[in-house]
Chain A
């Protein structure tokens, strides 16, 4: 009986801990998304050139690779993640200016924004309510990401619209899978660092938005 009680208590504590990480992750995600929106609006108001986007992405990727993993277990990790998301938002503003100048630009941006929100909320809700373990997707997702990255490196220099379209489509599917994967890991207590969890989900949302912009821009003849 005592062993059963101990097992039940450990299970309950694990669930409480997982719920705490989930709550902190979503709160930090909301804050970083809002901060990104503010820096994007600032970038749009300053009419930053598209080149700023590439520079912002390069710096934020380097911060994400080298700095964030080292600071994720301390309070400075919060500052780093706000720095990364603020940079990405600032770079995004430069791209949004390009789209807003097109004939159907505002509609395209609004549809991409709405679509991203719908996809993220739908997938997160599904992952949390289905209570399934989606960690089996890990190998497939990482393999897919590496293949897509190789395609992106090639397309940086080839600049083929058809390849861009294929990459965007693949990115949307991979990042959707990543949202399922990350959300189920957090809910099951397999991810206990809410800063790294937020970073991963933020990148999934950002990549889905950028890819939707690309697809809708091409398909809308913009």
Chain B
């Protein structure tokens, strides 16, 4: 999953770091190939949104954005 890979530049040893980066990129590409059929299946036969569905989903996501903003304000205070 993507979030794992945000610290890919923290290692110090160059050769080992390069090897791990290539290995991680390879595993991610593998994961992409595994995700593709799931994406196609959900896109083709998944339930389509009805009226009010997206609003019901965007409301809590908006709350998440607010929480993140508050956390940023807290860390900069």
Contacts and interface: CB of A to CB of B under 8 A. Distances in A.
A85 to B, nearest CB: 13
Contact of A50 (B10, B30, B47, B65): B10
Interface string A98-129: 10000010011001100100110011001000
Contacts of A216: 71-72, 75
Interface size class of A (residues with CB under 8 A): 35 or more
B4 A57 contact: yes
A173 B13 CA distance: 33
Contacts, number: 185
Interface in B23-77: 23-25, 27-32, 34-36, 38-39, 42-43, 46-50, 53, 56-57, 60-61, 63-65, 67-68, 71-72, 74-76
B4 to A, nearest CB: 4
Contacts of B56: 130, 132, 134
Given A50-B11, A108-B75, A180-B60, A139 B20 contact: no
Contact of B53 (A136, A152, A157, A169): A136
Contact of A219 (B20, B48, B65, B76): B76
Contact of B32 (A95, A98, A149, A214): A149
A19 B46 CA distance: 23
B28 A152 contact: yes
Interface of B: 1-13, 16-17, 20-21, 23-25, 27-32, 34-36, 38-39, 42-43, 46-50, 53, 56-57, 60-61, 63-65, 67-68, 71-72, 74-76
